[in-house]
Amino acid sequence: MAIACQSQTNLKQNSSKKNDKQSSEVSVAKELLDTIGLSNAPVKIEEDTIEKIEGNDRSLIFKYRNISKKTIDKIIFKWYIETAFAKPATLGSEKGIGGTDTDMDVEPDEASNLAIQLLSHDAKKAVLIWPVEVFFADGTKWRIRN
């Protein structure tokens, strides 16, 4: 009887872990589907790298360019990062998806660099970095899915 109860408990725990993994995968898929309209973005990511820093943490460094004809005041970015095993990386309490914003002015055709400390010990590759929202100096804005 005790063995049967223990087996049922193990099955429930395994099922719970499986559901958590599926939920994480659905969340990542939803975020990546929200990149519709990215080809029209006024900002393009030109290069990126992930470097090991203090302890086991990593830093995401990327170069982006304003390809619009307007000065940019602020950009909200998101990214999807994987481990060496092509699984979503642990980024603090999140799996794979992270983001930040910057309020550096970027003139038309000007490039800028951004370095972000990731609370991650397993981040290896930035699969995608994209602008979610871009605010221009003239008061207009671009939002993904426009």
Predicted pLDDT at 48: 97
- Rounded CA gap, 12 and 16, in Å? 6
Angle at 27 between CA 57 and CA 92, to 5 degrees: 20
Tell me: pLDDT of 136 over 80.
yes
Tell me: pLDDT of 25 over 70.
no
Tell me: pLDDT of 13 over 60.
no
Q: How confident is the model at residue 59 (pLDDT cuts 50, 70, 90)?
A: very high
Q: How confident is the model at residue 34 (pLDDT cuts 50, 70, 90)?
A: low
pLDDT digit string, tens, across residues 84-108: 999 999 998 889 999 999 999 999 9
CB contact set of 42 (below 8 Å; sequence gap of 6+): 66, 67, 68, 70, 72, 131, 134, 142
Rama region for 30: left / alpha / beta (φ>0; ψ in -120 to 50; rest): alpha
* E strands present in 67-106: 72-82, 90-91, 94-95, 97-102
Topology given in CATH for the domain delimited by 34-143: Immunoglobulin-like (2.60.40)
Predicted pLDDT at 31: 56
| Lowest pLDDT segment from 73-82, 92-101, 124-133, 136-145 | 92-101
- Would you kindly state where each structural domain of the chain is located, as residue ranges? 34-143
